[in-house]
Structure 1
Amino acid sequence: MSAGWELQKAVYDALSVPGVLAAPVYDDVPQGAAMPYVAIGDSTIALAGSKTDDGEDHSLTLHVWSQYAGRRETKELLGQIKAALHGRPLVLSGHALVRLRFDFASDFADVDEQTRHGVIRFAALTNPD
């Protein structure tokens, strides 16, 4: 099983626990989904191995979408995501999560000027079990 897929599943599961986020999390956002919500975004994987292991560096991006008038809702959701994931020991099937750390977050007005868009990125290192 792919470490990238296992990491995404673990992140989704961690964020979908009732009470963790004040919004649903989607891998594929349903048409007409009510805001706010969190969408799993793009990821990249690079070799981080050595002569003795096949580790991978991961970059995982999540998106927050809100139509709250102001930045509060977006910033609160970004903070909830960071609290739920940064440094957490998520369990991946077939792989060991060596580290998961917050990289950056940003929020800004979307082109429609009514929607706030938040972006948060995490860096992870995995090794095969």
Structure 2
Amino acid sequence: MSLPLDSPALALRAAIHGALAADAPLAALLGGAKVFDVPPKEADFPFVALGEAVVADWSTATERGTEHALTLHAFSRSGGRAEAMAIAAAVQEALHDMPLALAAHRLANLRATTAEVVRDPDGRTFHALVRFRAVTEPL
């Protein structure tokens, strides 16, 4: 099953990608605009990747809407948690409560909910999971 071209999930994902790619403080931490939908196989660290999305109907009796639970991933190999934590904070700062423009939809809200940093099984990669909740409405 493919998503329609006017999908609120795709519109939100595109707007988030654009906002993160254009964010100067985040780019400074990453060493460039290294924000990927799907990271290249040999991506240079650090980088941010758009991750999982859970999309649910948020309609009322009179209005249509969609709720999104999003996870963004930041990866670092700087030798500690500090870089991954700084990138996670920059991602939150770049998106939390931002009035992003979406194609064919209106963003009612976008809120950072949680962030955690874990060490990946390879023992040298630190992985930040930054979670957001958003609600969109059709135009």
Per the TM superposition, whether the score is higher than 0.5 is yes
The partner residue of 1:11 within 12, 16, 19 is 16
Matched, 1:98 2:103: no
Query: Taking every aligned residue pair, what percent have the same amino acid on both sides?
Result: 36
* CA spacing shift, 1:110–1:49, aligned 2, 3 Å: same
- Write the deviation string for residues 73-118 of structure 1: whole angstroms up to 9, x where unpaired: 1010000000000000000011110000011000011101111011
* CA spacing shift, 1:18–1:82, aligned 2, 3 Å: closer
Partners of 2:71 and 2:23 in 1: CA distance:
21
Partners of 1:79 and 1:4 in 2: CA distance:
23
Structure 1, unaligned runs of 5 or more = none
Name the count of aligned residue pairs.
Answer: 129
Give the aligned CA root-mean-square deviation in angstroms.
0.8
Partners of 1:83 and 1:18 in 2: CA distance:
10
Structure 2, unaligned runs of 5 or more = 1-5
- Cα offset for 1:31? 1.3
Matched, 1:46 2:56: yes
- Cα offset for 1:18? 5.0
Query: 3-state SS of the aligned residue for 1:15?
Result: helix
Structure-2 residue corresponding to 1:112: 122
Runs of 4+ in 1 over 2 A off after TM superposition: none
Query: 3-state SS of the aligned residue for 2:24?
Result: coil
TM-score by length of 2: 0.90
Partners of 2:57 and 2:24 in 1: CA distance:
35
Query: 3-state SS of the aligned residue for 1:51?
Result: coil
